[in-house]
A = this chain, B = another copy of it.
Amino acid sequence: MEKINIGQNVYLPMLVTLLGVNVENKANFMALGWISRLNASPPLLGAAINKYHYSAEGIRENETFSINIPSKELMKETDYCGLVSGRETDKSCLFNVFYGELETAPMIEQCPVCIECKLVDIYPLPSNDLIIGEIVATYTEKQYLINGVPDIRKIDPLFLTMPDNNYWTVGDNVGKAWEAGKDL
């Protein structure tokens, strides 16, 4: 079928996460979809956020942050974190907050997976900052593990598509990576 060009501003389906940052000694959480692992060893990840986000101040202040993966059950709270800014609204009481070894990266007790990071670098982009962090610890619970590894069905995370702005769950297991292509 004929290919058509739908322009430049296309989005990739993305995992929904919550970025946790202390700002002025108080926990704040923002919805974050622009995130990826960046490096294997050391384990680095990158989060792209608008320079003017309240969270950007806290990252510079403490040089620590967290990436929390909410389950479907936290959809309302997660969406709320994307609707209001911590500059005007105190989001610190929305969740039960805990801290890990870095002491200043707030994490969410209700999230199945919480990744604690220390800041490595900030790469400036035109309107965003790419926050590059090293993972120092990952907190979860036994109920989310299979063979010691977090299981996506137990985590039950959300994915976001834009610009239709829909939340999606994970579907079926359809194959094994680094195996499915061995026939070819």
Minimum CB distance partner of A138 in chain B: B10
Q: A142 near B1 (CB under 8 angstroms)?
A: yes
Indicate which residue in B4, B33, B45, B75 contacts A141 across the interface (CB closer than 8 Å).
B4
Q: A77 near B181 (CB under 8 angstroms)?
A: yes
**Complex Cα distance A174/B8, Å?**
28
- As for how many copies of this chain the complex holds, the number is 2
**Complex Cα distance A153/B43, Å?**
32
Contacts of A43 in B (CB 8 A): 8-10
A147-184 to B contact mask, C-beta < 8 Å, 1/0: 11111100101111111111111111111111111111
Using CB atoms and an 8 Å cutoff, list the residues of chain A in contact with chain B. 1-15, 17, 33-46, 48, 67, 69, 72, 75-83, 94, 98, 100, 109, 113-115, 123, 125-128, 130, 132, 134-143, 145-152, 155, 157-184
